[in-house]
Amino acid sequence: MQISIIEKKESDFSCDALILPFIENDFSYYDNLIPTLSKQIHKVFQKEFSGKFNQTALISCSEDLKYDRVFFVGLGKKEDITSEKIRQIGAKAACSLRDIGMKDIAISSGLISSLGFPITNFLEGSLLSLYKYNRYKKEDNSNNINSITILSIFSKNLEDEIKKIKIVSEAVYFTRDLINTPANDLTPSELAEIAKSLKNEHISVTVLEKPDLEKLGMNSYLSVSKGSDEPPKFIILEYKGKEIPPVVIIGKSITFDSGGISLKPADGMEKMKYDMAGGAAVLGVLKAVSELNLPVHIVGILPATENLIGSSATRPGDIIRAYNGKTIEIISTDAEGRMTLVDAICYSKKYNPSLIIDIATLTGACSIAFGNTAIAMMGNTREFIEKIKISGLNVYERVWEMPLFEEAKEYLKSDIADIKNSGGKSGSLCSSAYFLYEFANPAPWIHLDIAGTAWNDKDKPYIPKGASGIGVRLLFDFISNL
Ligand code: BES
Ligand code: MN
Ligand code: ZN
C-alpha cells in the first residue's frame, strides 16, 4: 500500500474517497476549506450525521469535484477527543471504505492537527485495521485499499513520523502473521529461519542447538522439549545501534502448548498455537528498531520449543536442574513457559543488561483477571515499571501492575527441590511471576503477561480477530524513549 503526504488543498486533489473528520455539531471548519461542498455538508448535518464519535456518513459527489465520494467521520465532542479515539476513527474510515471497494483514499488532516493531535494516530489506526491473514485461503476476493494520502498544509516534519508509523505497523503485521500461522508450519526450526531472515548489518542471529544447550546445562528449558520430535531452538538476536549495556527482551516461544502430560482440555486447545506470541513480538520489535536505526542496544531471545506428549516427555514429579543450578520440581508440565523463561533469563545475565524484559502468554489467570483489556506487569525496578506504564498509555497497549508479594514464595515451596514450577491455579498470575523473579533477581527485570491480550476472539477497532501483535508497539515505544 502506498502512503503519501501531499501539500494540496482538499478541493484540488483527486481520489476515490476523501475522508472528512468532524467535531460533534460543528461543520464550520470545512466551510472555507471546500466551499464547493458546503451545501452538501449542511444537508448531511441536517439529516443523518451530527459528528458523534464513530458516526459516519457517505455521500456521492457531483461532477465538478475531483473525488467520487466524501466520507464523514465523527470525532465526538472536542473535549473528549483522544489519540486512541483518532486511531479508532482511522480504522473505521479505512475499513468502511475498503469494504465498499474504494481503492485510493485521502484524509483531510487539518482539523485533527488543529486540535493538537498528530494525524499519524489516524494513519496508524487505518494501517493496523486493514490487516488480513489469508495465507491458507485459495483465493482472496475481498477488497483492498491501494493508497492512503494525507492532505496537509505542512508535510516536512510529518514525513519521519509517517515512516515510523509505517515501519512499526509492518512489524505488527509481521508479528501477527507469525502468531496466526499454525504450529505445523511454524515449528521452532521455522521460527529460527524467520529470525535469521532479519539478519542485516546491525542484527546478528545465533541459534543454539540441542547439543549446545545440553552442554550449557539449560535443562529447565530442555525439559519442555522432550515430548516433541521437533528440535528446540534457542534463538538469539542482537541489534547494536550503540555501545551501551543492552536491554534484553525474552519472548515466550512455545510454538504449541498441549500442556504436555498435564494435558490441557480439548476445548480451545487449537488456540495454543499463539503461545509464541511473546517471541513473535520480540522479532517484530527488533525488525522495527533495526529498520529505523535506533541508537539502542537490544538483545532478543526466543527459547523456542513445542510442549507435546511423547514417550520421553517430562513427567509431573520429575526434578530438573536449571541453568543457574537451582532444582525445580515439576508439578505441572503445563507450567512450561516459566521453565523456558528462567533459563533464558539466567543466560541473558552474561550480557550485563541494563534491563531484562520477558513477554509471555504465561497464565490463563491473566486472561481471567483482565480479559483482553490489559497486560499484567510485575518487576523489581520502579523506574522502568513506570516507563512501561507510560508507553502503555502512549500506544494504548495498557499495562497494569500486579504485586510480587513475598508470600507467593509459600506457593512455590517444594519438599524435595529448591522450588516447584506451579503453586496451583489459585493466585497463579502472581506466583508465576514470582517464580521468574526467583531467577531474575537482583538483575533489573520486568515481566509482561500477555495471555489475555495476545489473541482476540472478536474484532476490535483496529485489531481484526486472531493475533493482536500486542507488545510490538509497547516495547518499540519504550525502547525509542530510552
Ligand atoms: N500457555 C498457557 C497459558 C495460557 C492459557 C495462555 C490460556 C493463553 C491462554 C500456560 O503455559 C499455562 O498452561 N499455564 C497454566 C499454569 C498453571 C498450570 C499453573 C495455566 O494458566 O493454567
Ligand atoms: Mn502451558
Ligand atoms: Zn504455555
H helix or E strand, kind and range, residue 288: helix 277-291
Question: 365 CB under 6 A from ligand 1?
Answer: yes
How sure is the predictor about 165, in pLDDT bands with cuts at 50, 70 and 90? very high
Residues sharing a CB contact under 8 Å with residue 385, sequence separation 6 or more, in sequence order: 377, 379, 401, 446
Residue 260 CA to ligand 1 centre (angstroms): 12
Give the integer Cα–Cα distance in Å for 3 and 419: 53
* Closest-lying ligand 1 atom to the alpha carbon of residue 307: 11
Q: What is the pLDDT of residues 355-398, one digit of tens each?
A: 999 999 999 999 999 999 999 999 999 999 999 999 999 999 99
- Give the pLDDT confidence score for residue 63 in this predicted structure: 74
How sure is the predictor about 209, in pLDDT bands with cuts at 50, 70 and 90? very high
- Give the pLDDT confidence score for residue 386 in this predicted structure: 98
Structural domains present in the chain: 2-147 (3.40.220.10), 171-481 (3.40.630.10)
Q: Which residue do the cell numbers 516536512 mark?
A: 156
Coil, strand or helix at 109: coil
Closest listed residue to residue 370, CA positions, set 392, 399, 396, 411: 399
How sure is the predictor about 195, in pLDDT bands with cuts at 50, 70 and 90? very high
Residue 266 CA to ligand 2 centre (angstroms): 13
Identified catalytic residue from 69, 176, 287, 338: 338
Identified catalytic residue from 103, 264, 315, 389: 264
Q: What is the pLDDT of residues 314-338, one digit of tens each?
A: 999 999 999 999 999 999 999 999 9
Q: What is the pLDDT of residues 290-307, one digit of tens each?
A: 999 999 999 999 999 999
Q: Which residue's alpha carbon is nearest to atom 13 within ligand 1?
A: 334
Q: Which residue's alpha carbon is nearest to atom 22 within ligand 1?
A: 364
Q: What is the pLDDT of residues 35-85, one digit of tens each?
A: 888 889 999 999 999 999 999 999 998 777 788 899 999 999 999 999 999
In this predicted structure, the answer to whether residue 236 has a pLDDT above a threshold of 90 is yes
Provide, rounded to the nearest whole percent, the portion of the chain with pLDDT above 90.
93
**Mutate which of 334, 339, 429 to test ligand 1's pocket (most atoms within 8 Å of Cβ)?**
334
* Closest-lying ligand 1 atom to the alpha carbon of residue 252: 1
Residue 203 CA to ligand 1 centre (angstroms): 32
Average pLDDT over residues 217-226: 98
287 belongs to the catalytic site: no
Beta strands in 7-55 (DSSP E): 15-23
* Closest-lying ligand 1 atom to the alpha carbon of residue 254: 1
Question: 257 CB under 6 A from ligand 1?
Answer: yes
* Closest-lying ligand 1 atom to the alpha carbon of residue 257: 1
Q: Which residue's alpha carbon is nearest to atom 18 within ligand 1?
A: 335
Question: 363 CB under 6 A from ligand 1?
Answer: yes
CA distances from 224 to 106, 312, 330, 425, 442 (A): 51, 10, 10, 20, 26
Closest listed residue to residue 419, CA positions, set 366, 357, 342: 342
Residue 450 CA to ligand 1 centre (angstroms): 11
43 belongs to the catalytic site: no
- Give the pLDDT confidence score for residue 34 in this predicted structure: 86
In this predicted structure, the answer to whether residue 474 has a pLDDT above a threshold of 80 is yes
Coil, strand or helix at 482: coil
Beta bridge partners of 257: 307
Find out whether 3 and 120 touch, Cβ atoms under 8 Å. Answer: no
Question: 94 CB under 6 A from ligand 1?
Answer: no
In this predicted structure, the answer to whether residue 154 has a pLDDT above a threshold of 90 is no
* Closest-lying ligand 1 atom to the alpha carbon of residue 337: 11
How sure is the predictor about 266, in pLDDT bands with cuts at 50, 70 and 90? very high
Find out whether 322 and 439 touch, Cβ atoms under 8 Å. Answer: yes
**Mutate which of 257, 336, 363 to test ligand 1's pocket (most atoms within 8 Å of Cβ)?**
363
- Give the pLDDT confidence score for residue 404 in this predicted structure: 98
Question: 428 CB under 6 A from ligand 1?
Answer: yes
Question: 364 CB under 6 A from ligand 1?
Answer: yes
